[in-house]
Copies of this chain bind each other. A is one copy, B any other.
Amino acid sequence: MILEICKRAKEASYKLAYMSTDKKNLALRKIADNIIKNEVNIISKNEIDIKNGKENKLTNALIDRLTLNKSRIEAMADGLRQIAELPDPIGEITGGFRRPNGLEIGMRRVPIGVIAVIYESRPNVTADVAGLTLKSGNCVILKGGKEAINSNLAIAEAITEALDEAHVSRDCVQIVSDTNRESTIELLKMDKYIDLLIPRGGEGLKKIILEHSSIPVIMATAGNNHVYVDEFADLDMAEKITINAKTQRPGVCNAIENLLVDERQATEFVPRIAGILHDLGVEIRGCEKTCKLVPFAKKATEKDYETEFLDMIIAVKITKGFDEAVDHINKYGTHHSEAIVTENYEHARAFLERIDAAAVYVNASTRFTDGFEFGFGAEIGISNQKLHARGPIGLLQLTSQKYIIYGNGQVRK
């Protein structure tokens, strides 16, 4: 069954790879329309998932992520229409040159082929991912979690109907109806048919994938991020940025988990920011020096500096200077989004140069690492790996390239 899905996807991918932009956009708009048309059915299937979830004692946060309503379904459809408006990345000539022997070599942007996405709980991912992969000319195999299976199947049905209407093969967007672990592992071995795997889920899923996958993976992994308040920081700006990066939405990967402060600013800044954060409900875990300055701070452990809390907790460390801060971030961070607050030109330059992360900021909140905030539009996630796609995984990152070579009889000597 998994094998059949994969074979059909591979077969369909050759045709989708050179489908016209108009036809892909038409399909996207028809999917959006059909999701709205099927709203009643989708919501009734979603209610089954919610009922099951409550019986299985899912947390309120998970139930909330699972829940679809009229406005969320409209947002799904809007997202698809927005993807239709984005420029088509496929076919772009990204470069080219002529060789002395007369060969003309161009680099053309092409789809990756077949992409499998394994995800948990949020049913809107089904529509978002289908939209991004279709627009970028890739066939997709979707495997959602069991908590959302009824919702996912209802959305997939609406997608399939719309593909039929648009005369696009329904093999371009397929969903795996099995939700067990065995079918995940089977999928992970289909490197003959699947070109790329994108997991969206927790550490458990990632572990299974690292252990079993023979398919190249792009992971949207953890963001254990820092704001570093430099010796030469504007402290009002440092306050504003720290509060935003920590509290504006603490449960996402581009929020910060750590605050580093140069010791020459510590006496003034640490009690001040700790007080504000404390009042906002943030738990402070500090180094020894921090604890001396902040009576309500808990002692931070080594593990705290390694942890992505995704919660109203912050680890604070007072550093001896710029170098110690840079070394700390490169050692403990997850290379996602890192920020310095400074008015010093050389420190700003050196931070941008020496910090090893997908996005490095001077005097701005880390919360901007996001496809929409960067102006790229919708994305599948934020990658902090260094190969292929670093940062937001949008349409462009779902492409590959090929060399196209025009000759007139050249042979190699």
Majority DSSP secondary structure for residues of A touching B? mixed
CB distance from A169 to the nearest CB of B (A): 15
Chain A 391-413 residues near chain B, CB threshold 8 A: 391, 400-412
Residue in B closest to A242 when the chains form the complex, CB atoms: B411
Interface string of A98-109 (1 = CB under 8 A from B): 010001010010
Residues of B within 8 A of A234 (CB): 409
Interface string of A214-225 (1 = CB under 8 A from B): 101110000000
Query: Is the Cβ of A375 less than 8 Å from the Cβ of B97?
Result: yes
- Which stretch of A33-41, A44-52, A362-370 is in the interface? A362-370
Chain A 213-261 residues near chain B, CB threshold 8 A: 214, 216-218, 234, 237, 240-241, 243-245, 248
Query: Is the Cβ of B388 less than 8 Å from the Cβ of A388?
Result: yes
Of listed A244, A357, A407, residue having the most chain B CB within 10 A: A407
Query: Is the Cβ of B386 less than 8 Å from the Cβ of A400?
Result: yes
Q: How large is the interface on A (under 10, 10 to 19, 20 to 34, 35 or more residues)?
A: 35 or more
Residues of B within 8 A of A401 (CB): 390
Query: Is the Cβ of A359 less than 8 Å from the Cβ of B403?
Result: yes
Q: Which listed residue (B217, B240, B357, B407) contacts A402, Cβ 8 A?
A: B357
Residue in B closest to A408 when the chains form the complex, CB atoms: B363
Residues of B within 8 A of A112 (CB): 386-387
Residue in B closest to A13 when the chains form the complex, CB atoms: B356
**A119 at interface by CB-CB < 8 Å:** no
CB distance from A76 to the nearest CB of B (A): 23
Taking the full assembly, how many copies of this chain does it contain? 2
Query: Is the Cβ of B17 less than 8 Å from the Cβ of A386?
Result: no
CB distance from A217 to the nearest CB of B (A): 8
Residue in B closest to A404 when the chains form the complex, CB atoms: B352
Query: Is the Cβ of B409 less than 8 Å from the Cβ of A364?
Result: yes
A212 to B15, CA, bound (A): 34
Residues of B within 8 A of A113 (CB): 356, 386
Q: Which listed residue (B99, B217, B365, B404) contacts A360, Cβ 8 A?
A: B404
Q: Which listed residue (B105, B245, B348, B387) contacts A387, Cβ 8 A?
A: B387
Residues of B within 8 A of A400 (CB): 386-387, 390
**A387-B196 contact, Cβ under 8 Å, with A361-B407, A364-B405, A411-B364:** yes
Q: Which listed residue (B105, B237, B358, B386) contacts A195, Cβ 8 A?
A: B386
Query: Is the Cβ of A409 less than 8 Å from the Cβ of B216?
Result: no
Q: Which listed residue (B105, B195, B214, B404) contacts A210, Cβ 8 A?
A: B214
**A412-B363 contact, Cβ under 8 Å, with A113-B356, A353-B18:** no
What are 6 of the A-B contact pairs (CB < 8 Å)? A108-B352, A195-B387, A196-B387, A243-B411, A368-B412, A373-B412
**6 further A-B pairs in the complex, CB-CB below 8 A; given A240-B411, A364-B409:** A110-B356, A195-B387, A352-B404, A360-B403, A363-B410, A368-B410
Where the two chains meet, the residues of A that have a C-beta atom closer than 8 Å to any C-beta of B are 14, 17-18, 97, 99, 103, 105, 108, 110, 112-113, 191, 195-196, 210, 214, 216-218, 234, 237, 240-241, 243-245, 248, 327, 330, 348, 352-354, 356-365, 367-369, 373-375, 385-388, 390-391, 400-412
